[in-house]
Amino acid sequence: MKDIIKRIKEKLDVSELEKIQDDEYRIVVKLENIYESLVLLKREGFEHLSLISATDWIKDNKFELVYILYSYKDKTILLVSIFIDRRIAKGKTIKELWPVAATYEREIYEMFGIEFEGNDDKRPFILEGWKGMPPMRKDFDLNKYANKKFNRRKYA
Amino acid sequence: MHRNFEYYIGPNHPGIAGNFSIKVEANGDTVLNVEPEFGYLHRAFEKLMEDNLYIQNIAMVPRICVPDPDINEYCYCSAIERIAKKEVPERARFIRTLVLELSRIAAYLSYFGGIGGTIGLYTAPQWSVGDRDYILDLFEDLTGGRVYHIYMVPGGVRRDLPEGFEEKVLKVMDYIEERFKEYDDLIFGNKVFEKRTKGVGILTKEKAIELGATGPVLRASGYSYDVRKDNPYAAYNKVDFNVITAEDGDTYSRIMVRRREIEESIKIVRQVIDKMPEGEYKNQWYNPFKFDIPEGRVYVKIESSKGEYGYYFVSNGSDKPYRVNVRGASFPHIVTVFKELTKGARIEDIALILFSIDACPPEVDR
């Protein structure tokens, strides 16, 4: 295991640590610690935020938010996961740490309906005039929506 | 004292690469603020992928990025291979590297055409689009498709190199190398080009890292980082090439970094063909209609012609991907870097700055 990962394990309250590949690791932290954890990770060299991604684990009634970080110094990818309650669907913004995070959060709010405390940007991002359930949630039925929205074309 | 005006550029505009629009707030011809707006190219790829079988998605993913489609095929296949923990034959890795580099050269050629068009050097797009066609001919020979190739499959590539393909590739590489002497005279050494690009839209190294720039944009600001070198994939650890950087961080540097990278790409293509190993080109461990992929998640990233391109891939063990999130290289470039670069710029430079960061809206909309 790389030194940097050992250091992170000592300093952070990590509930799960997984090695995906030689240069790729995944940790799970708690929702209330996410901002402090990312501040610390940024100081440890994870300067680059590649992506914020969300996954809908509908069976466990949870959303997973993944912050994909990269350290130029150690050439390591780190996936930082947090789990949040699906009914509450509230995270914390990290737009002060990385400016691009504000837009990733705006997209996740639109696609999953996850709000980010401290990020008030709720303007539509990609969808236009969208009403109803956010489309990337697992209980959104794509076929049902398409049949309702578009007329079936009749072929002779 | 001028009043502030608001302009709306797009969604279709010759100065914009793809369909998206920009709200520009300007005083006189000085830009105060830009607000990009997306959504014109949204095709819900990520949602559709969750509804399709693994094999069905292979034909769909290249459509995410038109000028450089093979990066999507690579990311998708590599993510499946890594979750299933299956090896790819050595020959397939080399063929993939060859395809990725040819795709990069094709993407850069259409990029130079765009640059020429925005500053009024209209011969550039004619030449570069014509030269790009020689590479598309190679792709047609290899895969049957010119723009979308659908060539890589999990475990390798769809079929082996056709007979005499290597010689054809080398011939085209010689031609393009020879041709770039003329490009230097026409575009890159042109006084108009220099006057329009030098000192325009400067991005410092610190700002580039803070805003999340990657790829040629980051390298043009003086930071040497290339996924091919630092986290090698495919067969990039078997070839020798230089990471091109420039110091100034202006529009001129961003274009010239790509100009010099094309030489490195030609170098890589020659080495790949020289070192091409014999053997299998595919390791098909799966039934195409029912992939047996265990649970897992992985983030695959590669160096596209625009920067770091990645797939965050989650599998729950079923016959469909559970979640695929595409990290377009252009996302931070359009959203944050573009905003920073146009502060205080002039209205006529907006299109040039946008082209210099090689913005690709379909990567943002998906």
Query: What is the C-alpha separation between A71 and A12, in angstroms, rounded?
Result: 17
Structure confidence at residue A55 (pLDDT): 92
Amino acid letter, B267: K
pLDDT for A53 equals 92
- Please report which confidence band the pLDDT of residue B67 belongs to, taking 50, 70 and 90 as the band edges: confident
pLDDT of A126 > 70? The answer is yes
B118: helix, coil or strand? helix
Burial class (CB within 10 angstroms; exposed 0-12, middle 13-18, buried 19+) of B177: middle
pLDDT (mean) for B307-331? 90
Residue B363, pLDDT > 70, answer: yes
DSSP-H helix ranges across A12-152: 34-43, 101-112, 142-149
Look at residue A145 and tell me whether its pLDDT is greater than 90.
no
In this prediction, residues B336-358 reach a mean pLDDT of 86
How confident is the model over B209-217, as a mean pLDDT? 89
Strand partners of residue B213: none
pLDDT confidence of residue A32:
83
User: 3-class DSSP state for residue B235?
Assistant: coil
pLDDT averaged over chain B? 88
| Cα B224 from chain centroid (whole Å) | 18
Sequence letter at residue A13 = D
In this structure, what token pair is assigned to residue B20? 């998206």
State residue A1's pLDDT score. 66
Structure confidence at residue B15 (pLDDT): 60
User: What would the two tokens of residue B75 be?
Assistant: 């990311």
Residue type, B119: I
Instruction: Give the pLDDT score at B74.
Output: 92
Ranges B7-21, B249-263, B275-289: which has the least confidence: B7-21
Task: Put residue B85 in one of left, alpha, beta given phi > 0 → left and psi -120 to 50 → alpha.
Answer: left
pLDDT value at B6 more than 90? no
CA distance B39 to chain A (A): 4
Q: Is A47 on the interface with B (CB under 8 A)?
A: yes
User: Is the predicted pLDDT of residue B308 greater than 70, yes or no?
Assistant: yes
State mean pLDDT over B192-209.
87
Distance from CA of B356 to the nearest CA of A (A): 19
Model confidence at B269, pLDDT cuts 50, 70, 90, reads very high
Q: What is the ipTM of this complex?
A: 0.89
Nearest Cα neighbor of B269 from B145, B158, B161, B129 is B161
Nearest residue of A to residue B224, measured between CA atoms: A72
DSSP E strand boundaries for A58-147? 62-71, 76-85, 90-92, 115-117
Q: Which CATH class for the A3-149 domain?
A: alpha beta
Task: Provide mean pLDDT across the span B17-45.
Answer: 85
B307 touches chain A (CB under 8 A): no
Q: Indicate the pLDDT class of residue B266, thresholds 50, 70 and 90.
A: very high
Q: Which of residues 56-85 of A touch B (CB under 8 A)?
A: 56, 66, 68, 72, 75, 77, 79
Instruction: List the structure tokens of B124.
Output: 């550039």
Residue ranges of domains in chain A = 3-149
Residue A141 has pLDDT above 90, yes or no: no
Contact B34, B350 (CB under 8 A): yes
What pLDDT, in 10s, does the model give residues B158-195? 888 998 899 999 999 999 999 988 888 888 888 888 88
Q: Which of A53, A66, A142 sits opposite B47 (nearest CB)?
A: A142
Query: B38 and A103: CB-CB below 8 Å?
Result: no
Domains of chain B: residue spans and CATH:
4-365 (1.10.645.10)
Which residues from chain B sit within 8 angstroms of residue A98, using beta carbons?
210, 212
* Nearest-CA distance B47 → chain A (Å): 6
Cα torsion B48, B54, B59, B61: sign: positive
pLDDT value at A14 more than 80: no
pTM of structure: 0.90
In this structure, how many other beta carbons lie within 10 angstroms of the beta carbon of residue A98?
A: 22
The per-residue pLDDT for B14 is 63
Nearest Cα neighbor of A4 from A52, A39, A48, A42 is: A42
- The whole-angstrom separation of Cα A133 and Cα A140 is 7
Q: Nearest-CA residue of chain A relative to B362? A: A126
